[in-house]
Copies of this chain bind each other. A is one copy, B any other.
Amino acid sequence: MEKFEAALRRVRERTPLVQCITNFVTVNDCANILLASGASPTMAHDIREAAEAVTGADALVCNMGAIEDTDAMILAGKQANRLGKPVILDPVAAGGTALRRESAGRLLSEIHFAVIRGNASEIRGLAGETAAGSGVDAGVLDVVTEENLLSSLEMVRSFSQRTGSVIAVSGAIDIISDGNNAMALRGGCATMARITGSGCMLTTLIGAFCGAMPDDLYTAACAAMAAMNVCGELAEKRRLTNGTGNATFRTDLIDAVFNLTEQQLTEGVRYEIY
């Protein structure tokens, strides 16, 4: 898709600075996938400087894995809203505990998010549906399938209309909507669920694309998801060829983003518009 190529080009031309308030489990991967994409990372999260740091950034990513930084996210997010910079939410395990439900509620009421990207359980939970996920993975009853695709698309479209945010659900089938447009993307691979940080990295990559093209957040988020899917397939191909495992896959995935060509993106992406 030409729009996705253009988005990838923009990230590399503009090298956006993406501030991430994110968890200690996958923070290194998030920084390296930003650098792989052509963007720059800053992981300033201390409440005493998080909002000030937003001034120099092109986008802000709030990852609820860093649950202890919720207050810093709110200060920084409000500042980003004031300055018109896109804020992206990753509602990690948002329905998992009382603390997370409360934090998610506060974040959604205090900050306007450009994009919210989660797994099916996390997004269904935020949207008010009953969700079955435990821990950081989506529950089997929640995931988007061929069977529930249309109703799932309706869910994200409606949640997007209520929030004014682009809503993205990642999984074997990804779905995304800005309240009006909607798209399903296929691709990636099952090994992505066998490394920690696939979701965090995807959200961070959405931050890079949104930071580079804040004028078209829906295309930015779609392009980032497309890039992740294509890179997941490229890395999986290497894993199958070389007989390696999940750790090498993680490295290959980031490498694939580093080396991703516009042609690979266009030829590799599979999507349907709804």
A230, chain B: closest CB distance, angstroms: 14
Query: What is the CA–CA distance of A96 and B49 in the complex, to the nearest angstrom?
Result: 9
Inter-chain contact B243/A247, CB cutoff 8 Å = no
Question: Which A43-90 residues have C-beta < 8 A from chain B?
Answer: 43-44, 46, 48-49, 52-53, 56-57, 65, 67-68
Contact (A195, B35) CB under 8 Å given A24-B27, A135-B42, A254-B246:
yes
**Which among A153-161, A217-225, A256-264 touches the partner chain?**
A256-264
Q: How many chain A residues touch the partner (CB < 8 A)? A: 57
Inter-chain contact B196/A35, CB cutoff 8 Å = yes
Inter-chain contact A246/B36, CB cutoff 8 Å = yes
Inter-chain contact A245/B255, CB cutoff 8 Å = yes
**Which among A97-105, A106-114, A116-124 touches the partner chain?**
A97-105
Count the copies: 3
A192, chain B: closest CB distance, angstroms: 11
State which of B44, B93, B100 has its C-beta within 8 Å of the C-beta of A96.
B44
A20, chain B: closest CB distance, angstroms: 9
Query: Can you report 11 A-B residue pairs in the complex whose CB atoms are below 8 A from each other?
Result: A28-B28, A36-B194, A44-B93, A44-B96, A46-B67, A49-B67, A49-B96, A245-B255, A245-B259, A246-B258, A247-B253
The 8 closest A-B CB pairs, nearest first, are A245-B258, A245-B255, A247-B254, A31-B196, A49-B97, A42-B135, A49-B99, A247-B251
